[in-house]
Structure 1
Amino acid sequence: MSSDQKRANYWYFSQYAGLDFNAGSPVALTDGALATRDGCSTIADQEGKLLFYTDGVTVWNRLHQPMPNGTDLWGSYSSTQSALIVPKPGSSSLYYIFTTDSQADYPNYRPELHNCACLAYSIVDLSKADGLGEVVEKNTILYAPTTEKIAATLHANGRDVWVVSHQWNSDAFFAYLVTQDGISEQPVISRAGVVHQGRQEANGNARGQMKLSPNGSRLALVMEESGSEVFDFDNSAGTVSRAISILDNALLFAYSGVEFSPNSQLLYFTAVISEVDQPPYLIMQLDLAARTAEAIKQSRVIVGRYVRGIDDLQLGPDGKIYAATYLSDSLGVVEHPNRPGPSCNYRNDGLYLLGRSPNGGLPNFISSYLLPPDPVLEMPNVFTPNGDGYNPRFVPIRRQRVESASLTICNRWGQTLCRTDDLEKGWDGGESPAGVYYWLVRYRGSNGRLATQKGTLTLLR
């Protein structure tokens, strides 16, 4: 696991719920001070040790105490993505907390009041308060009005961070670049997709999650009343383009959560469907690797249903996607989110929270923290299918985060002797005599990256 991934190892969310991923599999926690309806954010250091967390209104330190000056931030308990914590590049102590307010008070927008429907930021300095942190700058407005959507990913340089939000009553995305010099004064503005606006004087379309893919190449969002869209994102320039409307089924409504698979090729979202005699709350999957926009739309498949409500989705450091479910003491879990269709294995009661309720909201992270490391594959250079049971097959010595692979074995004349997609089965040598042979492996990692390895092997009998 990379050091950046460990920054997402602690989660505090909903009604005093928490998770610790440092052991690999999540361990439920009950020591958190956060109780909120929707958005929140948590940050750990590069070793996976908790630093602080927030619901966008209050900031708690690692001892679960409110930080000095750490109250009355301009997020909201009912904002979908109320907060997002971003470390300042090049600093070991400074962190930005970006906040979005609830849209409920947007018609009465006044910048001097808490409810201002704005994107704002505050700054935490962890060198203060004996290393427990203090909020040293609070509620600096970047722009208004905004929706309740906010997401972030690393710049292509691997150091700086793009923070992306969406303007209300507009089709504009605002991307701010966070560098060692601070937050860019002027955002990159992209106009793509539909206008985010209310219906019948309502503002439900301001709600719903927005996510950037783990590899930083895609952006997806849901609008509570109007559906969902997916876009290309350029993590060098900060631009959003090529909108695809992926939900246009009149039976679907009340969209809420969205998340990418670890390999960034599958998209999951939650919605409600008006079907008779069926659980109305759905988790659906789309194949973003489909060749055309229409093919992406047609790839839609239901992978889970629930009778009581499914809200936010969030990819975890363990490569699973977690779903916030209502009236429950467990999180839903997509066990294998890189697998297409029902084979992804969604379970409603996937992770017990020790009596805590997920209640709708999950923490928001820089998406790059959840990108799996590159795959590792190591093949031997000799094997001995001589009947003694020792080293009888040509199989990997080491295999990590390899999702699929194909192995080809050829002799010195270029004749193919073996071709298999089962690396663990490998090659038993068949009737081939002792000698030198050539192998080629093409494989895909759990992060979606393709790789090729080749070499020679010696068969001894």
Structure 2
Amino acid sequence: MKYRIIYIACLLSIIALSGQAQKEANNWFFGENAGVTWNTTQSMGCLGIGGTETATLHGLPTPYPTELTIPINLVEGSFSLSDPNGNLLCFSDGMTIWDNSLQEMPNGTGLTGHHSSAQSGIIIPFPGHIDQYIVVTVSEYVNNNLSYSIVDMRAEGNGTTTAPLGDVISKNNLFQGHLGKTGEVLTSVKHANGEDYWVVAAGRDISPTYLNAWLVSASGVSSTPVTTAMPFTNTFKTIGAYITFSPDGKYFAWATAAYQHLVFGEFDTATGVFSNVKKVEYDGSNISIYPYGVSFSPSGKYLYVGNVKSLKVYDFANLLADISTEPLIYNISNVYALQLGPDWRIYAATAGSGFVVVDNPEEYGNLKLYRANVLKGGTSSKWGLPSFSPSWWSVSISVDKTLPICSEEALTFTTILNISGIESQITKIVWDFGDGTVKEDTNISSSQYSYTHKYTKPGTYALTVIPYAGNNPITDRIKVLQVPINPCVMPVNPNIHLY
């Protein structure tokens, strides 16, 4: 009897590979002269923590490429913005705006933020105004100076007429009409119409506490916010911490720091009204465990809360429905601000040389946690990380195996639609696998969808996920993932026999 020996070379290790989000959030600046970018990434051996084994992580950010000292130096909040290709436009500590040459914009100093304001500022597009942005800044405690400035990236600034670097064309315009005093607590989210934005700030030093939501449209910033009273008597008037929205904009979470409450609930992106607001009380006798950083997972299913002593993870649906308020607790020290990254990991500031990284934030109960020392020598994080509107994250695609793989091998693709502000418009999702196979999801009731597919021939295929509003594709939310497929079979030498 003769047996032919056939060599098959397939990569079978299962490591998630994610399609990149839009790149407006690709460059981060924070802490003591620290900056990282996802425009270039690296592999790094990372210390496993919280019961996770040490491993090599791929696709981690690299230090921002510059020979200059990054001019940011602050304890808490910052913000930045890049163009859709990941080219830096500007960044800020809430007091000064720097352009992509790391120089101060000519009119970009003296803003109303503060180096110790948890969320010193945030930047959003100015609806209807090409290449203009609304910069919102606020100081520490309850100094009540929430303001907005307008950046025009077409202005020459430190650049030239043909290569402008931007300038501040209007500065420190106070927000009007809010209830309570503003300070530290600030975020934004896209309106349900897909064009406008809401700017949200807490009104504190008043009972009850309020959340104020201003509409930002082509007409400018509304002078009359939508105000929602929190169903508590606490005044929350001292130090502040982070507030954030889920990626689809439907839910919010607010860590109230020294007042020892995690506040959360629902948000209507069409009306600006908060509802079903609830809270979890932390141990008021121990300031070291007060909630500080908050982040939702990409799907919005899980809520992460950081503090000095631990990382807590909640099943958000159960939390909101009062089914369970008990989180998973990881006893990890120095977990401060939390921020979803362009690679769909969650990153935590550590007041050190890197991040705590949640590598798989959707795998509740099986989380992989690491310390990744990715910062350039001589720089460090402090408590804060940049604040971003969740609207910068759109669509991700992941696959359950390392690419490339073999033809005829099944792959399961998963897409998460982080479609803040436009979820009510989505009528279907079209999957084009690039080999003539097209699938559709027409019952849009979730943010996560999966398909298993098998490519029968070798080649590189462009898997495209297209969300539709009616019969029209939403072009700025289309996501493409290149899928390389190998033959994996070498020709058989007929002269080789095994007897």
- TM-score, length of structure 2 as denominator length: 0.69
- C-alpha displacement at 1:160, in angstroms? 1.4
* Residue of 232, 236, 239 corresponding to 2:273: 239
Which residues in structure 2 correspond to 1:118-137 (within 5 Å)?
118-129=145-156, 130=160, 131-137=164-170
Q: Aligned-pair RMSD on alpha carbons?
A: 3.2
CA distance 1:317–1:287, shift in 2 (3 Å): same
1:318 aligned partner, one-letter code: D
Measure, in 2, the Cα distance between the counterparts of 1:255 and 1:292: 17
Measure, in 2, the Cα distance between the counterparts of 1:145 and 1:361: 22
Q: How many residues align?
A: 376
* Residue of 363, 369, 372 corresponding to 1:350: 372
- C-alpha displacement at 1:324, in angstroms? 0.6
User: Which SS does the other structure have where 2:347 is aligned?
Assistant: strand
CA distance 1:134–1:319, shift in 2 (3 Å): same
* Per-residue deviation, residues 124-178 of structure 1 (Å, max 9, x unmatched): 1112123111111111111462131111111122221111111012421111111
CA distance 1:45–1:30, shift in 2 (3 Å): closer
Q: Is the 8 A contact 2:278 2:320 kept in 1?
A: no
1:364 aligned partner, one-letter code: S
Q: Is the 8 A contact 1:193 1:229 kept in 2?
A: no
* Residue of 280, 284, 304 corresponding to 2:312: 284
Measure, in 2, the Cα distance between the counterparts of 1:122 and 1:354: 31
Measure, in 2, the Cα distance between the counterparts of 1:452 and 1:60: 42
1:48 aligned partner, one-letter code: G
1:449 aligned partner, one-letter code: S
Other-structure match for 1:98? 136
* Per-residue deviation, residues 326-376 of structure 1 (Å, max 9, x unmatched): 2x21111111111113x22122x2242022210111001111213434679
User: Which SS does the other structure have where 2:184 is aligned?
Assistant: strand
Which residues in structure 2 correspond to 1:54-73 (within 5 Å)?
54-73=92-111
* Residue of 15, 18, 28 corresponding to 2:63: 28
1:168 aligned partner, one-letter code: R
Higher relative contact order (CA 8 A, sep 6+): 2
Moved beyond 6 Å, runs of 4+:
1-4, 374-377, 452-455
User: Which SS does the other structure have where 1:37 is aligned?
Assistant: coil
Larger deviation, residues 176-185 vs 75-84: 176-185
Other-structure match for 1:294? 322
Matched-pair identity in %: 29
Other-structure match for 1:18? 35
User: Which SS does the other structure have where 2:413 is aligned?
Assistant: strand
Q: Determine if the alignment matches structure 1 residue 221 to structure 2 residue 254.
A: yes
2:328 aligned partner, one-letter code: V
Measure, in 2, the Cα distance between the counterparts of 1:448 and 1:323: 27
- C-alpha displacement at 1:448, in angstroms? 6.0
2:87 aligned partner, one-letter code: K
User: Which SS does the other structure have where 2:395 is aligned?
Assistant: coil
User: Which SS does the other structure have where 2:230 is aligned?
Assistant: strand
User: Which SS does the other structure have where 1:225 is aligned?
Assistant: helix
User: Which SS does the other structure have where 2:154 is aligned?
Assistant: coil
Measure, in 1, the Cα distance between the counterparts of 2:221 and 2:20: 23
User: Which SS does the other structure have where 2:361 is aligned?
Assistant: coil
User: Which SS does the other structure have where 2:337 is aligned?
Assistant: strand
2:104 aligned partner, one-letter code: P
* Per-residue deviation, residues 73-110 of structure 1 (Å, max 9, x unmatched): 0000110000101111222221111011111xx5xxxx
User: Which SS does the other structure have where 1:76 is aligned?
Assistant: coil
Other-structure match for 1:337? 361
User: Which SS does the other structure have where 1:146 is aligned?
Assistant: coil
More strand by share: 1
Q: Is the 8 A contact 1:192 1:241 kept in 2?
A: no
User: Which SS does the other structure have where 2:325 is aligned?
Assistant: helix
- TM-score, length of structure 1 as denominator length: 0.74
Which residues in structure 2 correspond to 1:235-384 (within 5 Å)?
235-250=269-284, 253-272=289-308, 281-290=309-318, 293-298=321-326, 300-306=327-333, 309-326=334-351, 328-341=352-365, 343-347=366-370, 349-355=371-377, 356-373=379-396
Q: Is the 8 A contact 2:311 2:331 kept in 1?
A: yes
User: Which SS does the other structure have where 2:201 is aligned?
Assistant: strand
User: Which SS does the other structure have where 2:22 is aligned?
Assistant: helix
